[in-house]
């Protein structure tokens, strides 16, 4: 896929019309139409605005493989999913810790140490998996 295909797909995913995108970028609708039809290419400052608007890097905006990967991701943002999981884990951990600490014995400290170890291990595994995936996609 070309830049024009990527732009059209990203715009459609955001549910923007060419007119709405043009207004956000301070360009004409005809300019957006030319970019999407492959008859023109935006200036660098406009490319930067596009990458910020669609939350993608410039590299991914102009590369062909990115949109194919995007279409298989089911329109989910993995950062949002990870944040939600982390918040749920933190709240759950706090509830367990508060409950066990109220009993005023050493069990609370043992559970706290176990939870910290578990969370640290999960973060380490997440980083390794994330780095492995990014290395595979960059090749």
Q: Which of 40, 71, 102 is the last residue of a domain?
A: 71
Residues 66, 82, single domain; the answer is no
Interval 63-98: pLDDT, tens: 764 445 555 555 556 666 777 777 777 777 777 666
How many structural domains compose the chain? 2
Interval 38-58: pLDDT, tens: 888 888 888 888 888 988 888
Q: Which of 71, 93, 122 is the last residue of a domain?
A: 71
Residues 82, 107, single domain; the answer is yes
Secondary structure (3-state) at 131 = helix
Whether 48 contacts 58, CB under 8 Å? yes
Average model confidence (pLDDT) across the chain: 77
The structure's pTM equals 0.46
């Amino acid at each position: 896929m070309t830049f024009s295909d990527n732009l059209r797909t990203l715009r459609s995913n955001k549910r923007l019309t060419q007119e709405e995108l043009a207004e956000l970028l301070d360009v004409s609708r005809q300019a957006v139409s030319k970019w999407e039809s492959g008859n023109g290419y935006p200036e660098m400052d406009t490319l930067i605005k596009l990458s910020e608007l669609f939350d993608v890097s410039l590299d991914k905006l102009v590369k062909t493989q990115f949109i194919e990967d995007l279409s298989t991701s089911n329109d989910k943002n993995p950062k949002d999913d990870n944040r939600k999981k982390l918040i749920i884990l933190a709240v759950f951990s706090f509830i367990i810790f508060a409950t066990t600490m109220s009993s005023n014995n050493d069990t609370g400290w043992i559970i706290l140490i176990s939870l910290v170890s578990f969370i640290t291990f999960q973060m380490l595994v997440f980083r390794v998996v994330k780095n492995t995936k990014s290395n595979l996609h960059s090749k």
